[in-house]
A and B are shown apart, each in its own frame.
Chain A
């Protein structure tokens, strides 16, 4: 009798295991595997990312070269692993920086309102229209020619992070404006909580969905920006690989059709970005 009752109670209760949590765990495992693989690239990859096998140019996948070789006979698998380090380390760092800047500037503008909001909004619009490319070119020109490739690309990503805040700042500003009139904030203000505490403890956490969306959208955007900047010499220098440089190879669409393993960086990027989205999501689907 007692046992049946217990079971009945259990049945009535909502499920303790949300489907989303399992997906988050799987996504975390995938991300961890990718990160570990890139960190231990030296042990996993059969050859160095820069070694040229000049007798095996554009070779198809084989036991020796898991993803074949590129135009210079370099092992694509090794380059993918080492490139993951550059892209997975620097792009999220740049995304984090741009998101934090956007949160600060957009959030403050929306919170303060009035003329401050107007000035900041105009400033954001102005910022968005400037040709920042020339700042990046100037930065590269100032660097010594013998700067290591990793330092050079780190500086590029740092600058991208510093320049990428404007678009999300506008959205965050709009979101903040909505929240400033929320009941709980009015109550908090009425109870005498200081402006800074109100902003940091009550406002910013409620902007999480937007901030997280901004963060993980920015990662592929910065990876691709690095690829596009390579056209102007601002990307990763040879022989250091990056996802961006490998993605640029896809412009040769006939080669891609004949060698579909060239899509490996795209697949990996989609998987990583998808996993990040799953890991960072804070909501479940709500039925209408």
Chain B
């Protein structure tokens, strides 16, 4: 329901944006007046958002996701070709970014050596300061797949939040008490640090999916990866409404699924912890 509402709102935003009803083909000086009228009429078909969306929903019931004007192909075909590639990139990007970020956060939060946070902080800062397009180009130059560029975009966020979270948790009274009682570092880490920080870490994983998708757009455009990110960019430039609506619904679904999975995992963790303590 949320995803479909997202589709409607997305369609409305596109419709209200400037340049919706125009087509680049109109600038071709070779076209006759009748051809221009035909192009305008084609565009005008989707100008009533309510009718467009009802038509879209009716088609959705039959598995018809509409037709992309900019690419001249059914949307379902386009998504079928491109989705696996993007999902793969996102999986690499999120897992890579979260792994690198959390590992560095843990090392920084735990290490005794003063100044051990300088290198990770510098790396995170550099990755934050560089546009995703520049990171993607750098990877292209080094012949490294673009999906690892997504990991570099995601990890600074995970690192910063994770580090602050873990450090703050380590300062909690119960952790200090556990340390005073002489519990081992690993037990403190898993039972007394991760457990209370788990909800926020889970939320972080969920947010990383949105971040990763946002980063995938410039990265796929730069690396010419024929994924959904590249499709989204093209659709936005061409104001391709059927394509944009479907991508919005897809992104909403992915965000919902990612966050729901994170919440479910958290609930399972809590259940496990409460069983142990009981």
The 8 Å CB contact of B10, one of A19, A131, A137, A283, is A131
Q: Which of A122-136 contact B (CB under 8 A)?
A: 122, 125-126, 128-135
Complex Cα gap A213–B206 (Å):
17
The 8 Å CB contact of B206, one of A133, A170, A269, is A170
Complex Cα gap A243–B174 (Å):
44
Say whether A270 contacts B126, CB under 8 Å.
yes
Q: Which residue on B lies nearest to A248, using beta carbons?
A: B131
B2 proximal to A (CB < 8 A)? yes
Q: Which residue on B lies nearest to A250, using beta carbons?
A: B134
Q: Which of B197-213 contact A (CB under 8 A)?
A: 197, 199-200, 202-204, 206-207, 210-211
User: What are 20 A-B contacts with C-beta separation under 8 Å?
Assistant: A125-B256, A129-B3, A129-B6, A129-B252, A131-B244, A131-B247, A132-B13, A134-B13, A134-B236, A141-B18, A171-B207, A178-B197, A209-B164, A213-B161, A217-B161, A250-B131, A251-B131, A269-B129, A282-B168, A285-B116
Main secondary structure on chain B at its contact with chain A?
A: helix
A78 to chain B, nearest CB (A): 21
Q: Which of B224-264 contact A (CB under 8 A)?
A: 232, 236, 244, 247-248, 251-252, 254-256, 259
Complex Cα gap A15–B118 (Å):
22
Complex Cα gap A128–B168 (Å):
28
Say whether B203 contacts A174, CB under 8 Å.
yes
A114 proximal to B (CB < 8 A)? no
Say whether A288 contacts B13, CB under 8 Å.
no
The 8 Å CB contact of A133, one of B9, B197, B218, B236, is B236
B30 proximal to A (CB < 8 A)? no
Say whether B207 contacts A167, CB under 8 Å.
yes
Main secondary structure on chain A at its contact with chain B?
A: helix
The 8 Å CB contact of B164, one of A174, A213, A270, A287, is A213
Say whether B18 contacts A217, CB under 8 Å.
no
Complex Cα gap A251–B218 (Å):
12
B203 to chain A, nearest CB (A): 4
A247 proximal to B (CB < 8 A)? yes
Of the candidate stretches A2-10, A93-101, A146-154, A220-228, the one touching chain B is A220-228
The 8 Å CB contact of B170, one of A134, A170, A221, A286, is A286
